[in-house]
Structure 1
C-alpha cells in the first residue's frame, strides 16, 4: 500500500505576516499537533508581551514564531512551530529570519529542541547551557527549614519592583512587564527573605496540563529547594511541571518528590553573552521554555 503524497507547498502562495490575537486558535491547534501542552490561555498570556509571525498558505497557518523584546538590548524567541505535515520545506528558516530581523544588536535567547538546534547554529546561536524539564504528580514534600536570619513568606503586590529587580539580575535581561503580569496571575508567589531583604522568589501558576513552578530565583541551591518545596507542598497530588537549569543539579531531588525528567532542551544565545551583576541570584527555574 502506497503512502499519501506530502502536502503541496507552493512558495508563491506562502506568505509571512504579523501574528494577531485572532490567530491564537490556529496557533494553539499547531502546538497541539506537536503534543505541546499549551492551553489557549497560555498562548494569550505570552502573546500579550510578544511580536509574532505566521506563515500561511491560502488562509491556513502552517507555522508560528514569537519574539519578546526585553529592554533595548535583549530579546528571546520561542513557540517556533511548523505543522508536522509541512516540515522540511524551509518554513522554519523563513520564520527565524523574520523573527531575527531588527534584532541584530540584541542578545537573543532561545531554548532549542534537538530538531531545531542545527538551524539555530547556522543562524549564529551558540550553546550556553541547558534546561531539564521535570513533571509529574507531586508527592508530599517536606518544608526545608531556613537558617537564622532567613524566612519564607508570601509575596505582596507592593513588592513588584523587588521581584522585577531580582528577575532582571538572574535572567540577565529586564522583563518588568512580564513579571508584573505573572505576579498578578500567579496562584501563589513566595519570597525568600534575608534580614527583611528579598533575596529570591518563586511562583506557582496554571499552565498546560496542570501547574508550573517558575520562575524560581534564589541565591543558592538550598534556597531554590526551599522555594520549590514550599510551592510543591501546596500542589501535592496535582500535576506539576518545572523547567530547571541543567547546571543546578536538582534532578534527583525533584524525581524524589514525583517530578521526573522528560526533556532536555538546549539553551542558546545569539549576539553578546548575557551579563549578570556581581553577586546576582541564580535563575534556577525558567518561566516557560518559550520565554526563558
Structure 2
C-alpha cells in the first residue's frame, strides 16, 4: 500500500502534548527549539499540524485570535514550518489555505521571512509594514532616559490590558494575562499614577526577548528597554517596527545589532488596527 502524499494527509489541532514534536520541527529547519515559546503559543493560541506517518510532524503553525470570544476581529499566524524532507511539495500552501478558509472573514496578519513571503503573496497577503530584528548585549552609555519605570504588580494588570487594547486596536486579554507567568520581567512606565507604557522580557534560548514594547513615546520605550536590560545577564533581542527610527538608532548605539528583517503582511485588511506610533515591538512575531 502506497504512502499518501504529505499534501493529502489530514490537518489536526495541536495541543501541549505536541510541544516536543513542534520543537523537533523547529530544529529540523535550523531554528532554535524554542520550547518555552511553543508552550506559550499552543496555550494562548491554536496550533494546527500534519502528522508524519513515519513519526513527528510534517508541518505546523499557530493561530492566535484577538477580539471577542467566538467572533475574533484579528488573527495572527505564526510558526509556519514544514519539515525539510517534505519541503517544496505544496504542504505549506495547503496548510495556509486551510487556515485562511477556516478563519473566514476574520482579517489576518503575519510576519514573513524573505523565504516565506512569495507563498503568502500568492495566497493574497499584502506587505503593509516591516520589522527589524536586533540582538546583542545592551551597554548603558550616555544620558539615561528620564522616565520612571518599575516592576509591574498584580494591581497593574487591568491598566496594562486597557492600554494594550487601546494601542493594539483589539482585545488581547487571554494573551496579556499569561505574560506574568511567561515573562521573567514585566515592567511599566507611569506618569502621575497612570500607566504610559509596558514591556516584558521573556527567555528564549540564550537571549531575553523584549516584547511587547508599548509606550506613549520613544523616551518611554527607551526607559523600558534600559530598565529590562539592567535586570538580565543575557543578550537582548527584539523586533522593532522600522518606522521607529530613533529607537532603532538608540539600541544600536547601546550594543544591539541588526540581525534580520521581516515583512508585516495582512489579509482582508488594509493595515493593522490601533496606534502604531505607540506600538514599538510585538510580544513575538508569531503572535503580533
TM surpasses 0.5: yes
CA displacement 1:204-246 (0-9 Å, x = unmatched)? 22123221111110111121111111112222x4222111111
Q: 1:142, 1:233 within 8 Å by CA — same for their partners in 2? A: no
Distance in 2, matches of 1:11 and 1:201, equals 43
Q: 1:39, 1:207 within 8 Å by CA — same for their partners in 2? A: yes
Structure-1 residue corresponding to 2:28? 33
1:214-253 matches, cutoff 5 A:
214-235=211-232, 237-249=233-245, 250-253=247-250
Distance in 1, matches of 2:38 and 2:258, equals 24
Structure-1 residue corresponding to 2:49? 54
- Would the alpha carbon gap of residues 60 and 193 (structure 1) be closer, same or farther in structure 2, given more than 3 Å must change? closer
Segment of structure 1 superposing worse, 266-275 or 214-223: 266-275
Give the TM-score normalised by the residue count of structure 2. Answer: 0.89
Segment of structure 1 superposing worse, 96-105 or 112-121: 96-105
- Would the alpha carbon gap of residues 188 and 21 (structure 1) be closer, same or farther in structure 2, given more than 3 Å must change? closer
Secondary structure of the 2:26 match is helix
Structure-1 residue corresponding to 2:102? 102
Distance in 1, matches of 2:272 and 2:150, equals 30
Query: Where in structure 1 are there 5+ consecutive unaligned residues?
Result: 1-7
Residue 267 of structure 2 corresponds to residue 270 of structure 1: yes
1:36-185 matches, cutoff 5 A:
36-58=31-53, 59-71=55-67, 72-140=72-140, 144-146=144-146, 151-185=148-182
RMSD: 2.1
1:199 pairs, out of 196, 201, 220, with 196
1:189 pairs, out of 167, 170, 186, with 186
Distance in 2, matches of 1:21 and 1:105, equals 28
CA displacement 1:21-66 (0-9 Å, x = unmatched)? 2221111011112332343222111110121111223144111011
Q: 1:135, 1:259 within 8 Å by CA — same for their partners in 2? A: yes
Paired residues, number: 279
Distance in 2, matches of 1:231 and 1:12, equals 44
